[in-house]
Each structure stands twice: as structure tokens, then as C-alpha cells.
Amino acid sequence: MTCHGAMTPPAERSRRTWPRPLAAAVTLAVAAAGGWGFALLGVPAAWLTGATLAVALAALARMPTVMPPQVRNVVFILLGSSIGANVTPELLARVPEWPTTLLAVGLAVLIVQAVLQLFLTRLCGWDWPTAFFAAVPGLTSYITVVALPTSADMPRVALLQSMRAVLLLLLIPPALELVEGVAPGTVPLPMPLIAGTADTLVTLAVGALGGMLLQGLGVPAGTLVGSMASSTVIHGLGLVEGALPEPLLIAGLIGVGALVGGRFAGYSIRALVAALGVSVTAAMLSFAVAGLCALATTAVSGRPFSELAMAFAPGGIDVMAALAFALNLDSVFVAGHQLVRFAMIVLLVPVVTAAMLRKGYRRQGKP
């Protein structure tokens, strides 16, 4: 594994020129086909990883990849509203019951971030903005969007974040079999409550308003952050309930995949392969550090390691809570800790991003 494989793109080679609407339509079609293909194969995080890979390959082949700002904003609203819909009044009501373990999960986020960032900067020679975004433990789609306007090397960020999401989902079943004695694939997962038409429309409308507000205020990735925050508030207060229909979430993931995949234009396959090896190593390191934090918290709190391992894992609120429910563990406990991890990332990353932009770590050209 070559840690120091440079990924600065070479001088831009001549690329085909298509009318912008055609290029945008083809980009989204390629992303949708990649996501659909991965979904058919049962690949974890299929719609995001498949869309990203398909558009990345198209970009490497010098095909024009375009995401108009209007389409980007719609994608961010869909994605942010979907993420915020994981919060429920029951979840918020129980959060004050776990002060010790909630503090521990907050510290774990900082520890994982620090260890991974040191590994990437000191041992692998990655620049600071790229290492920062790549090291953030979780919320893959959110991080790849927030990082876009900065000078972070997006292919490396996308590779590490995507590999962490995929490896986590691949490793959870055998890990649960080892810890809980449940064979992979034998646990039925609960079906999430899906919002009705009225609640879906309210969620999207409120998400759009919140997104436009924060975008107007100049918050990094304001459309995504604002829609996520707005959706979290109305779901947490019980004003609406249920996850957005799956096609809307899939549309958001395809759009993000298309956006990030387009950043691979001009890179070499050799550099990407070198960065892939670093990404796998870094992802496994993040799992190990999070696991050690969970083990230490078990000794202090007396909570089962299996619950804390899922509570500390850099995964999604919905996935971790569903697995806990299927194993007769406290799914609300797991979701509550994932919510705190999620909140820390959502609140802190834009602050660091804004500081980066003020210091000149800004992407040249359009974000």
C-alpha cells in the first residue's frame, strides 16, 4: 500500500463538449443506472456508491459530467429532509436518560476524528482539508456535499467515506453473529413507518424553506443543512411522522453520487487505486478505535457491549436502530446515541468548513 500516492489531477485533457442540458441528463442517467445495478447485486449503500462509481468512470473516460445548481438544490433538499426524518419524539424524550454514555459517544467522535486525521496527514501525507473531511466518522452523503466548496481532494474524501459505509454494512452481520450468536441474514428487520402524502409534502416544503434560508445566510452546504435541520425539528416535535418514501431518498442519493462522481475528472486510475488501499486501512482503523471506545464505555457504564458497539459505530441512525431492534436490544438507546453523533457532526463540520473557506482553502472554479 502506498500512502503517499498523489492525487492532484493532471492538466485537464480535452473533453467532449455537449449541450449542458444533454450533459446533465446523461450524467443523472448514468448515476441512476450505476445505483440500480449495485442495488440488483445487493451491494451495501448501493444507490450512493453505485451512482458515484458509474459517474466517476464516465468522468475518467472524459465524458462531460454536469449537475446544474437547480438540480443540486433539489437533491440536497431531498437528502436533508430524508435524514432529518429519522428523529422521533420518543427518541428525544429518552435522550436525557443516558448522560454518561452520551458524553462517551461525543468523546468517541472526537477521538476517532483525531486518530484518523493524524494517520492521514502524518503517515499518508494527505493535506489538512482532505484528511479532515475523510476522517469524519459517518454521514457519508452529508460530508461529501459539505466538502465540495473547499479545496479538499474530493475523490479521496469520497473513496474513504464510501469504503467506510460499505465495509461497515459488510462487517456488521458477521460481527453480530460473533457477539450475539445470530447468523447473518436470519434476522428480520422491522419495516420503517413511511410518511403519508400530506406529511411528505409538509416535510419537503419545510425542508425547502429551511434550506433556502441557510443558503441565503451563506452557511456551507446551507440547502442540505437547512433542510436537514427543518425536517429534524418537525419530526422531533411530532408535527409529522414517518420516513420519506424510498424513491425520494433514492433520488437524493443518485444526485449526490452524480455530483461527487463528476469530481473524478482528470484523475488517473493508478492514483485512485493507491488511494483505495489507504481508504480501506483508514476505515478499518476508525472501526477499531470506535470499538475500543465502546469497550471502555461498557466497563464504566455496565451497558451491553453489543448495544454500545452499534451506538458508537459510524453508521446511520436508521440502520443501527433497526439492527438493534431485530436483536431485541434497546433500539431507542442505539438511535439516541447515533443522534448525538449525528448532531455533533452536523453542528461542528460547517463551522470548520467556514473557517477553512475564510483561510483560503477554497476550490478553484465552480464548487
**In the prediction, which pLDDT does 180 show?**
58
**Domain presence at residue 13:** no
CB proximity list for 306: less than 8 A, separation 6 or greater? 176, 179, 180, 327, 329
HSE (side-chain half, CA atoms, 13 Å) at 138: 29
**Domain presence at residue 15:** no
Q: In this structure, are residues 269 and 53 in contact, taking their beta carbons and an 8 Å threshold? A: no
Q: How far apart are CA 112 and CA 293, in angstroms?
A: 9
Torsion over CA: 366, 18, 68, 64 (sign):
negative
What end-to-end distance do the CA atoms of the chain give, in Å? 31
Q: Which domain holds residue 48?
A: 20-358
3-class SS at 194?
strand
**In the prediction, which pLDDT does 260 show?**
80
Residues of the chain with pLDDT below 70 are: 1-16, 173, 175-192, 318-319, 322-323, 325-327, 364-367
**In the prediction, which pLDDT does 324 show?**
73
**Domain presence at residue 24:** yes
Strand partners, 194: 243
Name the residue among 366, 351, 294, 356 with its Cα closest to residue 131. 356
Q: State the pTM of this model.
A: 0.76
Q: Could you tell me how far CA 347 lies from the centroid of its own chain?
A: 15
**Domain presence at residue 2:** no
Q: How far apart are CA 314 and CA 172, in angstroms?
A: 11
**Domain presence at residue 292:** yes
Q: Could you tell me how far CA 33 lies from the centroid of its own chain?
A: 21
**In the prediction, which pLDDT does 168 show?**
79
Neighbours of 41 (CB within 10 A): 9
Q: Which CATH number goes with the domain that contains 70?
A: 1.20.1530
Q: Could you tell me how far CA 361 lies from the centroid of its own chain?
A: 22
Pseudo-torsion of CA 293, 294, 295, 301, nearest 10°? 110
**In the prediction, which pLDDT does 14 show?**
47
**Domain presence at residue 72:** yes
**In the prediction, which pLDDT does 177 show?**
64
Q: How far apart are CA 226 and CA 196, in angstroms?
A: 22
Number of domains in the chain: 1
**In the prediction, which pLDDT does 79 show?**
85
**Domain presence at residue 14:** no
**Domain presence at residue 11:** no
